[in-house]
Structures are given as structure tokens and as C-alpha cells.
Chain A
């Protein structure tokens, strides 16, 4: 039986998962600080909107969640492609981690949207272009993860998953432009054109905050995923 002498320590290339990771700690602290600022601005500082009342403050969660949901699938698509081109495992880990996060953000935008719609629009849901395309994006995220979990293992499964991610990457700008291209129940502009300056500032801070939070969660999940991949490889070598 071949001797598999492990010359590297078991942790090997998952050294990025060392507890002394300044990037991860830094991101966590920054996102926590930003979140504190955002919460203060959203709940204490920004004025109440005249027509929608306090429910309008959902805007400061709903919009950032949406933008990140749209961004995430593009990252998945690019990372999947990079993996197929270079064959490097780290791209695959990035794709998978981003897809997992993407499901969360996509779910949240649909749920927060529905909760906001009920008192304001009068309905929980409607099949307009924006909501439909966002729902499609949700299905794409879920489909991607299911194929990774239950589809053929190895490169073939990853290829199928990449195709789905690519469809998602096409869907993403469609969601963004949906209110421009079609008549929808959403206001025409994704961010209202006429916006009190405090509201705009709060929105920007919220977007930055959620992006940093996303980056933090992504780095955590990515490192974890890479380590899991390494471990799996070790399993196979020592079996």
C-alpha cells in the first residue's frame, strides 16, 4: 500500500483559517460598527416619510439586501467560470460560498418586500416584472446549490451548476432594469429621484454596511469551504 506521508501539517493550505486572521476580524469589527451606525440612523435619525410612515424605513434594509442579492449571483457566475478555466479549487470554494450567501439575501429581499408590500401596496405579492425576476433569481440560487449537492459529482456537476449561475448573472441586470423596461408595481426609479438628503445618506450607509457584512460572511464561509475541500482531499488520500 502506498505510503501517504503527509509532509504538510493537516491544516495545510487552510492556513487562511487560522484564528489570527486580521481580515476576518477586521471585517467583523467594521461591519458591527457600521451596523450600529446604520441602526441609529434608520431608527433614530432619519425623518419619517410623509406618505408611507414608519414602514418606509424598511427601504433601508430592503434596497441593500436587493443589491447584494443581485451582485452575489454575478460573483457566483464569474467564480464558477474561473474554476472551469483554471481548475483551481479556490474558485469553486468561492462560488459555493457566495451561492449560499446569495440564497439568504434573495430570501430576505423577497420576504422583506412582501412584508412591506402588505400595508403599502395592499397585497403580499403580485406578478409584476420585478418580483417575478427576483423570484427567478431565488430559484436560480436554490437550483445551483441543489445541483451541487445532489447532481453528478465532479466536473460535470460543476458545469451544470455554472450554467445555472450564468443564467442568474443574466437575470441580475434584468431585475435591476425591470422598473425601467416594464410597467411594474414598484416605483419607476429603484432609488426615488426626489429624496431628502438624510434619507439618501442613510441609504448609502446602509448599503455600505450590508456590503461589509456580506464580505465578512463571505470570507468566513469561503475559508471554511476551502478547509472542507482540503479535508475531503485528505480523506481520499488516506483512505
Chain B
């Protein structure tokens, strides 16, 4: 996709690699903690009535999910802020290039006027 190309071009290989690695670490750690929350769940339920599994009374049992939500929310916002600053930098580059080109043109016109 164009976006990835732009990213590579705008940032250079090193920075893009760092970002991809960070994103990967965030995603993997989130996935691992979420999936890890299922370890220890009994494959068969106990037989007596109505016995909930040992997790039921522990209010902190689902902490990994809360962690995952928090990570992903912040990750998304930081990713977006990063994206904004990248575009900002690109735009600044464009403005500078445009300024230079305009200066060149104005000088060219001034020169051709003085010649005529």
C-alpha cells in the first residue's frame, strides 16, 4: 500500500524498523496476556451443583483483559500522534522546497527582466 511506501521513504529504514518492532512487541504482549488468561481454565467443569470454577470469586481474574484494553487504546493514540507528526514533517519539507523553487523563479524573472 502507498502508506507503507510513504512511511519507508519519509522515515528511512531504521526508524520504520523500530516502529514496526515496537508495534509488534505491543501486539504480541497484549495477545499473550489475553490468551494467557485462559491457561488454567478447566477443560471439564467440576461435577457438583452449581460450582463455579475457582476463578469466579476472584475480582482480579480478568486483569489481563483490562491491561490489553489499556495497551491497545494508548497504542492507537500514540500511533496516530506519530502519524500526524510524520505528515507535519513531510509538509514542512514541501513548503521549504516550494519556497526554494519560488525564489529560483523570482530570481530568474528578475534576471530576464534586467536583461531585456
Chains A, B in direct contact (C-beta < 8 Å): yes
Q: Cβ of A224 and Cβ of B70 under 8 Å apart?
A: no
Residues of B within 8 A of A6 (CB): 102
Residues of B within 8 A of A220 (CB): 84
Q: Cβ of B59 and Cβ of A53 under 8 Å apart?
A: yes
Give the CA-CA distance A55 to B83 in the complex, in Å. Answer: 30
Shortest Cβ gap from A148 to chain B (Å): 14
Residues of A within 8 A of B84 (CB): 217, 220-221, 224
Interface of B is mostly: helix
- For residue B45, CB closer than 8 A to chain A, the reply is no
Question: Which of A114-122, A135-143, A163-171, A184-192 contacts its partner?
Answer: A114-122
- For residue B109, CB closer than 8 A to chain A, the reply is yes
Closest to B95 in A: A10
- For residue A238, CB closer than 8 A to chain B, the reply is yes
Shortest Cβ gap from B74 to chain A (Å): 10
Q: Cβ of A119 and Cβ of B62 under 8 Å apart?
A: yes
Give the CA-CA distance A173 to B76 in the complex, in Å. Answer: 25
- For residue B80, CB closer than 8 A to chain A, the reply is yes
Interface residues of B in 51-96 (CB under 8 A from A): 58-63, 65-66, 68-70, 72-73, 76-77, 80-81, 84, 87-88, 91, 94-95
- For residue B99, CB closer than 8 A to chain A, the reply is yes
Q: Cβ of B60 and Cβ of A53 under 8 Å apart?
A: yes
Question: Which of A70-78, A87-95, A227-235 contacts its partner?
Answer: A227-235
Residues of A within 8 A of B70 (CB): 61
- For residue A108, CB closer than 8 A to chain B, the reply is yes
Shortest Cβ gap from A73 to chain B (Å): 17
Q: Cβ of B80 and Cβ of A54 under 8 Å apart?
A: no
Q: Cβ of A108 and Cβ of B73 under 8 Å apart?
A: yes
Q: How many residues of A contact B (CB 8 A)?
A: 39
- For residue A111, CB closer than 8 A to chain B, the reply is yes
Shortest Cβ gap from B27 to chain A (Å): 11
Interface residues of B in 100-116 (CB under 8 A from A): 101-102, 105-106, 109
Shortest Cβ gap from A186 to chain B (Å): 17
Give the CA-CA distance A116 to B73 in the complex, in Å. Answer: 13
Q: List 10 A-B contacts (CB under 8 A).
A: A54-B60, A104-B80, A108-B72, A112-B69, A115-B34, A118-B65, A217-B84, A235-B98, A238-B98, A238-B101
Binding site for B on A (CB under 8 A): 3, 5-6, 10-11, 48-50, 52-55, 57-58, 61-62, 65, 101, 104, 107-108, 111-112, 115-116, 118-120, 213, 217, 220-221, 224, 227-228, 231, 234-235, 238
Additional 7 contacts, C-beta under 8 A, given A48-B59, A108-B72: A55-B65, A58-B65, A101-B80, A120-B62, A221-B84, A227-B91, A238-B101
